[in-house]
């Protein structure tokens, strides 16, 4: 890295940067742009403010560390402000006085993340924070920061001969060592061993702060031996299995799934968000000690043993309904790339080759080459077919369409396979994929894929609980479980469930195909309400699954449902963005900042762009958005708008038919949602926003009066 992480130009001491996190972030982002380290401060402020809206970045010591990774940042950068007017960043001990804004390039490697993690770790040290408070110049503060981030890593102590792997490379370790009492053989007594894992969504700051907070809390205890595995973006080696096996309890301080959770199977566990590891490390260690001594304490479920790093389930504290819901969401999230790639390729194929190309795409891609291009007439299965286009356009269109068809063939198997994975880990993948393929074969469609995925996951999970001899244990996850589960799922589908599920799917397809007039409008209203109810949550995802999975059927009804799903999902972010421009005083400063970018998220069909608004004021925002979504859905279905792309918003306008119907439906939904949210917020005011507006007006009046006195 050529430039230092922070320079005096990026430091402001004892300044008033406003009364909200968005104000402070905006000023700090401006410093980054002013020093030439970013091409545009706007995306930095928007990304960091959006991150702040999801979870405050305030930590102990009245410090805040908003952070983001965006494309406009040229190099890893820190901007710092010591505030004369502290601001609430949701810290545990009051408003933040010291604020670091961490800006990282979107595509940056891991080296700069290691440097940023050093800063995050230093912030839990009281002496470092005091240096920040007492610095009299920008250079003095820069020196203190660079001393931390440029420090060489401490050399790991060699492992004592009596330990069994207590110090894992790349982990943070605290060993009670001589502090514990010993018997005549030298064995430690009354020492509690704790294995811990920390992780946060970005893997930049809280991951390492929680790791060091737990480490420092353990250092003060004579009876605790603790090793932390930070699972952050800057990497790190995992805990040694020998220490995990000897641990008395486990601490998970995390916001994302713990990688390879199965390593900890059977251990008493304390499971909390990562911020609790930063703010309450002593309490978590106390709970871990209590769990180690309590035979009834929650334990890491054995089913996680094969779950892999992305498994959503496995914690013993989760109920089965919750685990089933998470497994279905896992299946949907892994299915979406197949739908997105396949669906968009189909749409591009139609755009290039014409819609009649679908009548002979297989012959076009197998009978012709770039050196032997098709004409307008092609023999398909012994019959001469005439196409509107010819040459490169027809041939490349057929190639794109054929590639998309291959991708769409995996939609149901992928849904089924990854539902099985979400419940049982790797052993559930193969049976799930096989069950999904059987579902397609017998005509059960995506409903059958849901069923086979759940069956595969539950059966594989059950088989994992069997007690088997050690020699057979190694064969279980790779041979025995997939074999038995696939056999059971196949028998159930062919002998029992296939025909009923096929009849259900055919009935649903026929019902959708027959819907016209008022019945189609009613379906559009229901879909619109679902898409805007929780803005990316389970209900929204259920509606999206209904639309995307139906694309594989290739019917007009399925295309119309997909269009309704996408148009309704675009409404909330666009409507809220427009509302913040029209009636700025009805929204908080943070919401006003979010509104500057929410419109683009909406046009891209990212409903989550409305979450900050809904989270801050759900009882006013959500009903208004549902009203707009229902309007958009009704108009879309009423006009018979179809869409062959599963994502992309207005940027795949070529995939809509008719495209003008999409524009009308979207405009109607946005108009209704915008007017509704403005009306609700106006006639049912938010007292907190009113108070903030009054305070701001009072400050402005005071400042104006002071200026007049000075002028006089």
Catalytic residue positions?
Answer: 200
Q: Which of 110, 116, 41, 105 is nearest to 73 (CA)?
A: 105
Whole-angstrom distance, CA of residue 530 vs CA of residue 538: 9
Identify whether the C-beta of residue 98 lies closer than 8 Å to the C-beta of residue 80: yes
Whole-angstrom distance, CA of residue 28 vs CA of residue 34: 10
Supply the angle between the helices 429-442 and 411-424 in degrees, to the nearest 10. Answer: 150
Task: Kindly state the helix (H) or strand (E) to which residue 546 belongs, with its residue range.
Answer: helix 538-550
Whole-angstrom distance, CA of residue 217 vs CA of residue 602: 45
Identify whether the C-beta of residue 243 lies closer than 8 Å to the C-beta of residue 195: yes
- Tokens 């069994």 locate to 164
Q: Which of 620, 622, 621 is nearest to 684 (CA)?
A: 620
Task: Kindly state the helix (H) or strand (E) to which residue 70 belongs, with its residue range.
Answer: strand 67-70
- DSSP state at residue 239: P
Task: Kindly state the helix (H) or strand (E) to which residue 453 belongs, with its residue range.
Answer: helix 445-464
Sign of CA dihedral 9, 12, 16, 22: positive
Whole-angstrom distance, CA of residue 574 vs CA of residue 632: 13
Separation in Å, CA 143 to CA 3, 66, 79, 131: 14, 21, 14, 10
CB atoms within 10 A of CB 368: 17
How many residues can be counted in the chain? 712
Whole-angstrom distance, CA of residue 47 vs CA of residue 52: 9
Task: Kindly state the helix (H) or strand (E) to which residue 163 belongs, with its residue range.
Answer: none
Torsions phi, psi of 640, nearest 5?
Answer: 70, 35
Q: What residues pair up with 83 in beta bridges, in sequence order?
A: 15
Q: Which of 13, 113, 125 is nearest to 61 (CA)?
A: 125
- Tokens 């006085």 locate to 97
Torsions phi, psi of 168, nearest 5?
Answer: -85, 140
Neighbouring residues of 205: CB distance < 8 A, sequence distance ≥ 6:
57, 65, 67, 102, 116, 117, 120
Identify whether the C-beta of residue 81 lies closer than 8 Å to the C-beta of residue 24: yes
If phi > 0 it is left, if psi is from -120 to 50 it is alpha, else beta; for residue 686 that is beta
Whole-angstrom distance, CA of residue 290 vs CA of residue 192: 10
Neighbouring residues of 133: CB distance < 8 A, sequence distance ≥ 6:
82, 97, 98
């Amino acid at each position: 890295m050529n430039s230092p992480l922070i320079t005096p130009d990026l430091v402001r001491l004892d300044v008033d940067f406003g009364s909200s996190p968005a104000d402070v972030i905006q000023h700090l982002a401006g410093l980054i742009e002013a020093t030439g380290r970013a091409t545009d401060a706007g995306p930095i402020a928007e990304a960091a403010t959006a991150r702040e809206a999801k979870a405050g970045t305030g930590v102990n010591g009245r410090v805040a560390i908003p952070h983001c990774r965006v494309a406009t940042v040229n190099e890893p950068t820190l901007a710092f402000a010591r505030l004369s007017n502290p601001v609430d960043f949701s810290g545990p001990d009051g408003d933040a006085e010291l604020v670091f804004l961490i800006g990282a390039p979107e595509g940056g490697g891991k080296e700069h993340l290691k440097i940023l993690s050093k800063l995050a770790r230093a912030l839990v040290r009281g002496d470092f924070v005091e240096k920040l408070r007492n610095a009299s110049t920008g250079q003095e503060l820069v020196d203190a920061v660079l001393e931390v981030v440029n420090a060489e890593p401490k050399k790991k102590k060699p492992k004592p001969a009596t330990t069994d792997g207590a110090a894992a490379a790349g982990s943070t370790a605290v060993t009670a060592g001589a502090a514990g009492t010993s018997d005549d053989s030298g064995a430690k007594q009354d020492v509690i061993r704790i294995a811990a894992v920390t992780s946060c969504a970005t893997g930049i700051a809280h991951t390492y702060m929680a790791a060091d907070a737990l480490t420092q809390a353990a250092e003060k205890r004579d009876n605790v031996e603790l090793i932390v595995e930070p699972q952050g973006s800057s990497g790190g080696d995992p805990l040694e299995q020998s220490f995990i096996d000897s641990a008395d309890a486990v601490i998970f301080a995390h916001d994302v799934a713990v990688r390879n959770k199965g390593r900890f199977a059977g251990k008493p566990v304390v499971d909390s968000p990562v911020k609790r590891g930063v703010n309450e490390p002593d309490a978590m260690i106390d709970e871990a000690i209590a769990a180690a001594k309590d035979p009834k304490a929650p334990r890491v479920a054995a089913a996680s043993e094969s779950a892999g790093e992305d498994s959503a389930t496995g914690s013993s504290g989760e109920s089965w309904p919750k685990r089933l819901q998470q497994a279905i969401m896992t299946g949907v999230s892994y299915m979406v790339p197949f739908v997105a790639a396949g669906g968009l390729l189909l749409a591009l194929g139609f755009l290039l080759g014409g819609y009649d190309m679908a009548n002979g795409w297989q012959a076009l891609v197998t009978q012709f080459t770039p050196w032997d291009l098709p004409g307008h007439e092609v023999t398909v299965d012994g019959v001469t077919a005439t196409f509107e286009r010819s040459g490169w356009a027809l041939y490349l269109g057929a190639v794109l369409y054929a590639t998309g068809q291959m991708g769409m063939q995996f939609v149901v198997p992928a849904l089924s396979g990854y539902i099985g994975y979400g419940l049982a880990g790797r052993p559930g993948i193969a049976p799930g994929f096989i069950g999904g393929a059987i579902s397609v074969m017998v005509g059960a469609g995506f409903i059958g894929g849901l069923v086979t995925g759940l069956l595969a996951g539950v059966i594989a999970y059950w088989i994992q609980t069997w007690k088997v001899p050690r020699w057979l244990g190694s064969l279980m996850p790779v041979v025995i479980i997939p074999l038995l589960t696939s056999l059971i799922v196949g028998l159930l589908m062919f002998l029992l469930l296939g025909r009923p599920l096929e009849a259900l799917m055919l009935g649903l397809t026929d019902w959708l195909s027959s819907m016209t007039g008022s019945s189609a409008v009613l379906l559009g209203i229901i879909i619109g309400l679902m898409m805007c109810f929780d803005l990316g949550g389970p209900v929204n995802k259920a509606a999206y699954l209904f639309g995307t999975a139906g694309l594989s059927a290739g019917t007009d009804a399925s295309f119309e449902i997909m269009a309704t799903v996408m148009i309704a999902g675009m409404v909330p972010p666009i409507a809220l963005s427009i509302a913040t421009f029209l009636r700025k005083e009805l929204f908080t400063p943070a919401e006003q900042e979010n509104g500057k970018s929410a419109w683009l998220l909406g046009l891209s069909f990212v409903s989550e762009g409305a979450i900050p608004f809904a989270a801050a004021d759900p009882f006013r925002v959500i009903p208004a958005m549902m009203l707009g979504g229902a309007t958009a859905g009704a108009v879309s279905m009423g006009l018979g708008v179809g869409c062959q792309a599963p994502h992309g918003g207005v940027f795949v306008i070529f995939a809509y038919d008719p495209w003008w119907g999409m524009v009308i439906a979207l405009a109607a939904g946005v108009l209704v949602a915008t007017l509704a949210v403005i009306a609700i917020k106006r006639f049912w005011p938010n007292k907190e926003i009113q108070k903030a507006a009054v305070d701001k007006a009072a400050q402005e009046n005071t400042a104006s009066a002071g200026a007049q006195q000075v002028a006089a």
